[in-house]
Each structure stands twice: as structure tokens, then as C-alpha cells.
């Protein structure tokens, strides 16, 4: 356990990392609400969580925390080094930030928009979302259980490439989202196919901030 604490706390620019972490997870929560309001879908995990929270009649943040807590049990057994402040921040702040922004975004964005207005909002929100996810991963303070699980599965069972494991993992949640009427759309497909390369491209340009 001491090695884990040293792994996360013995980093350079720790104050900067914490600020970027908090800002990025709140931005992710905000982006999820915009994507949902625009009807373009959202990332596979959030799509499933939105569908389940509405089926159960509980808030998005509450259900997201419950699901992540179950996934955390797997990390505690097989991937403790993946756990850190970033894990806890993602588990709690993405969902509850989205709960905070939902009424604001619904009041700000009309329920029906013409296509060019949807594009006008979708593109900058997509850029913000990718940047926020990249920043959350770049600070290297721990991964969300959803993101850490395929890493651990690949590490323990390397019969398939990590990319293949991640696509199957995301695909499973897309199917689950469809079963619970979660918002699946163009953003969901973009996340499965393009999010990894876009995060890698963005991360390389901000890495100097934490060296």
C-alpha cells in the first residue's frame, strides 16, 4: 500500500495535477449532459449509466457511483496500482457534476434544434470532452474502474491486443445501453472508434505541463 501511495503522491507538479484532474472530470460531466440533450449519444459507459438511472428512477450520479463501486471490487483484487485520486474523482464527480448541469443545460438548449445548430454545439463539446479525458489520463493519478478494467483484463489474459479488448469492452456496454434505452448515437460510435487515437494525439501536446 505504501508503494501505491508513493506511486501517486511522489509526482512532480502535484498541485497542478490535482487542479487539472478536478477541472477535467467536471468538464466530462458537463459534456455528457450536452451530448444527451443534443440526442447524439455519449460515451458507452455514460450511455449505459444514463439508461439504467432512468430505468431505476435514480440520479445519474448515484447509479454511476454504484456501478463503479462494484467494478472497484475487481480493481482491489487484481489492479490496486490503478487506484488513486483520479479513480475516486471519476467515480463521483463525473456523475454528480452531470446531475448539477442537467437542469442548466436543459434550460439553455431547446429540446428540438435544427441540424446546423446541433453541429455548432456538438463540435466544440466533442473537442472539450476529448481534451478533458486526455487531461484526466495525462495527470496519471489513477483510472476510473471502467477504464482500468480492460487494462487489467489484457494484462492478465494477453490473448488479444489491448485495442481489441477495449473495443469489445465498449461494445458490450453499447449493447447493454440499447437494452436499457440508453442514449446511443454518433458520439457513442465516435468514442469506440476514435477516442483512443484522439486522446493520444492530444496528450502528446500537453505532456510538457507535468514533466
- pLDDT recorded at residue 176: 95
The b/e string for 127-145 (b: 16+ C-beta within 10 A; e otherwise) is ebbbbbbbbbbbbebbbbb
Spell out the per-residue pLDDT of the chain, length 211, in tens: 444 444 444 556 677 888 989 999 999 999 999 999 999 999 999 999 999 999 999 999 999 999 999 999 989 988 788 888 889 999 999 999 999 999 999 999 998 888 888 989 999 998 899 888 888 888 888 888 998 888 888 888 888 787 788 888 888 999 999 999 999 998 888 887 776 666 666 666 665 555 4
Residue 30, C-beta contacts closer than 8 angstroms, at least 6 positions apart: 97, 98, 101, 105, 128
- pLDDT recorded at residue 179: 96
Angle at alpha carbon of residue 196, lines to 40 and 62, rounded to 5°: 55
C-alpha cell at 137: 489520463
97/199 Cα distance (integer angstroms):
22
- pLDDT recorded at residue 36: 94
Amino acid at each position: 500500500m505504501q508503494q501505491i501511495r508513493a506511486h501517486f503522491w511522489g509526482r512532480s507538479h502535484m498541485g497542478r495535477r490535482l487542479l487539472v484532474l478536478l477541472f477535467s472530470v467536471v468538464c466530462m460531466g458537463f459534456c455528457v449532459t450536452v451530448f444527451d440533450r443534443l440526442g447524439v449519444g455519449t460515451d458507452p459507459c455514460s450511455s449505459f449509466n444514463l439508461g439504467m438511472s432512468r430505468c431505476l428512477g435514480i440520479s445519474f450520479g448515484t447509479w454511476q457511483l454504484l456501478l463503479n463501486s462494484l467494478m472497484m471490487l475487481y480493481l482491489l483484487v487484481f489492479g490496486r496500482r490503478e487506484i488513486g485520486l483520479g479513480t475516486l474523482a471519476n467515480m463521483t464527480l463525473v456523475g454528480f457534476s452531470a446531475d448539477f448541469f442537467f437542469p442548466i443545460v436543459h434550460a439553455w438548449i431547446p429540446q428540438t434544434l435544427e441540424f446546423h445548430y446541433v453541429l455548432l454545439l456538438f463540435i466544440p463539446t466533442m473537442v472539450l470532452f476529448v481534451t478533458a479525458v486526455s487531461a484526466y489520463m495525462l495527470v496519471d493519478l489513477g483510472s476510473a474502474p471502467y477504464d482500468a478494467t480492460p487494462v487489467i483484463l489484457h494484462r492478465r489474459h494477453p490473448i488479444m491486443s489491448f485495442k481489441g479488448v477495449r473495443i469489445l469492452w465498449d461494445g458490450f456496454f453499447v449493447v447493454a445501453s440499447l437494452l436499457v434505452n440508453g442514449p446511443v448515437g454518433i458520439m457513442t460510435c465516435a468514442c469506440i472508434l476514435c477516442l483512443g487515437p484522439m486522446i493520444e494525439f492530444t496528450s502528446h501536446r500537453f505532456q510538457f505541463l507535468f514533466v
